[in-house]
Amino acid sequence: MSPPVPRAVVLDTNVVLDLVVFRDPGAEPIAHAIRSGAAVPVTSQACVDELRRVLAYPRLKLDVQAQSAALERFMALATLYGAPALTAPAELPLCADTDDQKFLQLAWHSNAHCLVTKDKALLRLARAVARLGRFAVLSPETFDGHFQAP
């Protein structure tokens, strides 16, 4: 049997933290999909910049070395989508939290299979995004049921 063709997935910053910092068991289905080759995280420079900022938050209590290691762990898994600027297509819903629009735009432009998020503003857009037929907006809890290896 040939290995699965990896499908692009966009992970919001909190999901990335669950994977590479907290090693949250709730993120295990996502980690398994990545390890098995069924999924490949896609990111953008804007998303990497946000991750870098969040890793430095004092409440995470990560020293510079731990921040760097977490970023390296994620980048070893991810593919950097190289478009210089991602614009929002007219049909793509706008997120109430403008800081999170970049995840929708990345999923759209990279032809991702899904956007996995814990953000309530993004999750509220799941139905509207699904109607477009381009990608799904999923919570980590619904990822495993939706994302099946091809």
Burial class, 127, CB count within 10 angstroms (exposed 0-12 / middle 13-18 / buried 19+): exposed
What is the distance of C-alpha 50 from the center of its chain? 12
- The letter for the amino acid at 81 is Y
Predicted local confidence at residue 85, as pLDDT: 66
Contact 116, 10 (CB under 8 A): yes
Phi first, then psi: give them for residue 42, nearest 5 degrees: -115, 135
Q: What is the dihedral of CA 16, 6, 107, 126, to 10 degrees?
A: -80
User: Domain extents for the chain?
Assistant: 7-146
Q: Distance (Å, rounded) from C-alpha 20 to C-alpha 72?
A: 9
Express each pLDDT in 1-17 by its tens digit. Answer: 566 688 999 999 999 99
CA distance 102 to 108: 10
Q: Which two tokens stand for residue 147?
A: 């994302």
Report the top-level CATH class of 7-146.
alpha beta
52-105 pLDDT, tens per residue?
999 999 999 999 999 999 999 999 999 999 866 677 788 999 999 999 999 999
Is the whole model's pTM more than 0.85, yes or no?
A: yes
Q: Say if residue 18's pLDDT is above 80.
A: yes
